[in-house]
Amino acid sequence: MKNISIGALALGTLILILSFGMDTAPEGTHNIGLMQYQLMVFHTGSLLALSGVILLAASLVLDRIKANTAAT
């Protein structure tokens, strides 16, 4: 589970970085359709990164609980 969460976090971060580099004004004026697409890509990347962080935190908590129950 930890590998999946790290992968989701890395992929989400990469998508977020790429969304900032998208060109929304190819002919000099901003294209609303391209801006909407950029916003959808940004939301997808942020959702993926957030789910990666949540899964990673849950994985670390579960590992800590297993370690504490095995020690007692």
Give pLDDT, residue 1: 86
Residue 51 CB-half CA count within 13 A = 12
Can you state the angle between helices 32-71 and 2-20, rounded to 10 degrees? 160
- Look at residue 63 in the predicted model and tell me its pLDDT: 93
Answer yes or no: pTM beyond 0.75. yes
* Separation in Å, CA 19 to CA 3, 32, 56, 68: 24, 15, 24, 42
* Mean pLDDT of each 10-residue bin along the chain, 72 residues long: 94 97 92 96 97 96 92 76
CA–CA dist 53, 40 (Å, integer): 20
Decide: 49 and 9 in contact? Cβ < 8 Å: yes
Which pLDDT belongs to residue 9? 96
